[in-house]
Structure 1
Amino acid sequence: MADGTDDLTDLIALMAKLPGLGPRSARRAVLHLIKKRGQLLVPLADAMQRVGANVRECLNCGNIAAGDICNICNDDRRANGEICVVEDVADLWAMERSQQFKGRYHVLGGTLSALDAVGPEDLRIPRLLDRVTSENVTEVILALGATIDGHTTAHYIADQLTDVTVTSLAQGVPVGGELDYLDDGTITAALRARRAL
């Protein structure tokens, strides 16, 4: 322990658990952090300490927040009657990057999955149903993945919401996409979602 190798081993093992990092990438990252101790390692450790102490899930929508309620839920300008339902916070952030959606969000925390025994009560679906009523929601936009579990979740939510307009994001050919490089499912979705020019 005196030479710090156990601490290094622990740090590498923890870093290797991060998405996109395996043991080799984690070792490289840790070595880089040690080389840049003053510029990266110490500030990173401090930032992680602050995030661990202060950041939590928004009690209303499930977004990441520095308090009990996130900035989006606290913004009265976004109380326009629209809620965009996403699977996780990364999806919310992707939607926000587009700067096109001006309503509020609801993070489910996953999708329904019979195989993994994930039911509606395991997600934030009951909270969504409460919000639709209490926030006078007029439209729920389902921005879920084009997977079997995503479609199952979307259909379940749509069945529960009978007094509100339920829409979903369009699916199909991406901007700049070439048909030759697309999978059959994407082409099928694009064909079904076609519209007049």
Structure 2
Amino acid sequence: MQKNEFILDYILITFSSLLMALAVMLFFKEHTLAPGGITGMSIVVNALTGFPVEYVSLGISVPLLIMGILFLGKSFGIKTLYITLTAPLFLKIIPQTHVTSNLLLAGVLGGLLVGISIGIAIIRGCATGGTDLLAMLINKVMTKLKLPVILFILDGIVIIGSGLISRNYMVSVYSLISLFVIISSIGFITRRFSQPRAEVTLQS
């Protein structure tokens, strides 16, 4: 990989990490929206088993990252690890800010930021370390299933599970709307900006 391409990779995936943190701090956290992801999955497992969320999240993320390195390449794993580490830093730096009281608008805008974030990560040959990484691994085996479809199924199951456990069904409805926006945004970004040099061949 050329030096300029390497630098561009890390500029873009840093931006991807920033967008993900902005979505959480500006839209999702205030309204307790959770459109899937490893965190949402961990919450569901915690509710069912009693295991602490942080341990469940670690127990899911670490094996996924190892499998990502093994099946999707070393460079993929390093960049994914970079995003996984920088996102929490941005979450600490960015203050939670009230942007809108409209739950629907929060879901749409947050979903747009997350979709762009994941889309950027995909076209630069990595993942954000969430369910997109799991979707990529599944896509590696089940190549006929498109990546956004796999991601929608995974996150949809998490959202439905969270809604059933919390019994806060309206939040689940808005989280599903947000997920639709995320999937649509990922599809647009990967179709519009996908590059043939990407190390991970993905269907979008």
The normalised TM-score by structure 1 is 0.24
Q: Which has the larger radius of gyration?
A: 1
**Greater relative contact order (CA < 8 Å, ≥ 6 in sequence):** 2
Greater strand fraction, Structure 1 or Structure 2: 1
Greater helix fraction, Structure 1 or Structure 2: 2
